[in-house]
Amino acid sequence: MMQNSSSSLPHVMNDNHHSNKSSPVCNGKFFALLIAINCFVAAITKTVIVSIHDGSIARRDQKHRSVLQAADDEDTCCVCTSSSDDNNPYPNCDVPNPHLLGNGICSTGPYNKQECGFDGGDCDAFNSEYPNCDVLNPELVGNDDCDDGKYNTEECGFDGGDCRYPNCNVVGYIAYLGYSLGDSICNSLANPEECGFDDGDCIEFNREYPDCTMFEHSIFSSVGDGVCDTSYNNEECGYDSGDCEAINSLYPNCKVPFLKAIGNGECDIGVYNTEDCGFDGGDCTEFNTLYPDCTDSISFDDELYPDEVGDDLCDIMQNTTECGYDGGDCLPNPMYPDCDIALVHDIGDGRCDSDLNNSECGFDGGDCVIKYPNCNANTLTGSGVLGNGLCDTMFNNEDCNFDDGDCVEFNLEYPTCKGFISNTSRLGDGICHHSLNLEQCNFDGGDCAEYNTRYPNCVAFGGDIGDGRCESENNTPECRFDGGDCDVFNYLYPNCNVSNPSFIGNGRCDTTEEYNNAECGYDGGDCDNIN
């Protein structure tokens, strides 16, 4: 039997205060059925009744955004509304940012309480599986990446199963180095039995080369990778699993720090460019033929880079007769014999270089003979280019014709912003830049309008507010504690003052005193194993 209740049917409203007529009774089976049909039709057409006034029902179709007026019947009394209690399901929940409740991400701290419905239900599954797991970022638990500290504990299921080796105490450190257990790279630090021989990555290596000396921090996948590594060029390591056999056969007496540099296409001098090493595996043959005495002409303290000889850049150290004046790079330009030798190859490259803007260098081969003789040529070697389609503020002056016209539109739209900006492309790029959040720049071309509305007294970098990372400079009441990003951090560690709060409890132990202290929970528990 259909009931007229707020839980299953819309509210029934009696609006007779504007009419002298007697209103129909809005109850009983008939009206209950009528209301149910009315709400069903409204749901199908996505129509929301938004107001009743003087007997008229205004309806807005959400698809077509049109407003329809019902018949002007003052007796109309039954409308579909929702209970006002539904707007606040957690009246006793006191949190800074209620919008985080039920957003699909489990937020700990004040949000994960019964009064807040355990973060609007977001934490139900996490609490059920790990009721005693107290971590800052529950989403890291069971994400297929082993996080150390409080995550790698029995209470948290050893990071939700991500850490299968609870006695392996190097997880955080190898993660700091950029590796992880079971990443298909055999890491010597994780090769003890407690770490499952790097979760199996080192088993094959250990079986094949049981006596091969492991070097700390080395990556053993380089053994047998096709490149000869000097460190493993010994019998115990199978001569780098065969990678060094060819070099050993060709150059048995070649003793160099890096055998993989032999025959790599680049001429390396010194011990590489010797007969025992085949003159760097043939890489130095052409250089030795062209400049046989070049190496001897370079002082002991200087370094010779054969590949830079004849690269169109004058290298002063190689500017010797024996080196062919750097393979000709340091020979005077016949058109500009008095021009600075070190710069002659930049002449006439299409850009005005201030060091070449003189008569001896032909005013940079004509590059500095421009349409605007009073434009400061010394700025032309900066990051901007005159008249390249982008407004460069260094040229935004009358002498440079406002960057050859590139800045005309900018000056019209932001006539007072000129002195506050160096890169005009940042205006109106969709990101609120704090340095441009000025009235003179139309509040960053409108990008900061929403930020200024929500945080009128927040002096911070607007683009960082509410980005999911807690930044200390935005962790103020005026900035709503970084748009809610710092709520959990402040609740768990109210006396922790660090430059990067996001480092706290991220599964990586930051050993500095700033993080590894009682106020910060010893880096949110990340340093528990190390301490």
Decide if pLDDT at 332 tops 80: no
More confident residue, 370 or 231: 231
284 inside domain: no
Q: Do 157 and 204 belong together in one domain?
A: yes
109 inside domain: yes
More confident residue, 249 or 510: 249
Q: Do 109 and 199 belong together in one domain?
A: yes
Average model confidence (pLDDT) across the chain: 75
Instruction: Quote the pLDDT of residue 404.
Output: 80
Cα dihedral sign, 383-385-391-393: positive
The string of pLDDT tens digits covering residues 141-175 is 988 777 777 888 889 988 888 887 877 877 767 77
Q: Do 39 and 11 belong together in one domain?
A: yes
Q: Which domain-ending residue is among 54, 87, 120?
A: 87
Distance of CA 473 to the CA centre of its chain: 19
More confident residue, 443 or 31: 443
User: Residue 22's pLDDT band (boundaries 50, 70, 90)?
Assistant: very low
Q: Which domain-ending residue is among 226, 258, 277?
A: 226
Q: How far is CA 421 from CA 418, 434, 444, in A?
A: 6, 11, 10
- Total number of domains in the chain: 2
- The mean pLDDT of 501-506, rounded to a whole number, is 85
Least confident of 152-161, 171-180, 309-318: 171-180
Domain holding 29, by residue range, is 1-87
Tell me the sheet residues that pair with 245: none
Q: Do 39 and 83 belong together in one domain?
A: yes
Cα dihedral sign, 127-130-136-137: negative
Task: Tell me how far apart the alpha carbons of residues 228 and 22 are, in angstroms, rounded to a whole number.
Answer: 99
Q: Do 113 and 54 belong together in one domain?
A: no
Using a pLDDT cut of 90, give the percent of the chain over it. 16
* Residue 188 backbone class (left: φ over 0; alpha: ψ -120 to 50; beta: rest): alpha
Instruction: Quote the pLDDT of residue 430.
Output: 85
Least confident of 203-207, 229-233, 524-528: 524-528
189 inside domain: yes
Tell me the sheet residues that pair with 57: 52
More confident residue, 303 or 160: 160
The string of pLDDT tens digits covering residues 124-146 is 999 999 999 988 888 889 887 77
Q: Do 102 and 16 belong together in one domain?
A: no
The string of pLDDT tens digits covering residues 343-363 is 666 777 767 777 777 888 888
More confident residue, 180 or 81: 180
410 inside domain: no
Task: Tell me how far apart the alpha carbons of residues 349 and 330 are, in angstroms, rounded to a whole number.
Answer: 17
Strands (E), 418-491: none
Q: Do 215 and 174 belong together in one domain?
A: yes
Task: Tell me how far apart the alpha carbons of residues 516 and 509 are, in angstroms, rounded to a whole number.
Answer: 8
The string of pLDDT tens digits covering residues 40-64 is 434 333 333 333 233 332 332 332 3
Q: Do 4 and 52 belong together in one domain?
A: yes
Instruction: Quote the pLDDT of residue 369.
Output: 67
69 inside domain: yes
Per the CB < 8 A criterion, the answer to whether 273 and 284 are in contact is yes
The string of pLDDT tens digits covering residues 452-501 is 888 888 876 545 777 778 888 888 888 888 888 888 888 888 899 998 89
Instruction: Classify each residue of 104-123 as buried b or exposed e, where b means 16 or more C-beta atoms within 10 Å of its C-beta.
Output: eebbbbbbbbeebbbbbebb
Q: Which domain-ending residue is among 61, 87, 113?
A: 87
Instruction: Quote the pLDDT of residue 57.
Output: 29
320 inside domain: no
User: Residue 281's pLDDT band (boundaries 50, 70, 90)?
Assistant: very high
Q: Do 222 and 121 belong together in one domain?
A: yes
Q: Do 1 and 67 belong together in one domain?
A: yes
Q: Do 29 and 78 belong together in one domain?
A: yes
400 inside domain: no
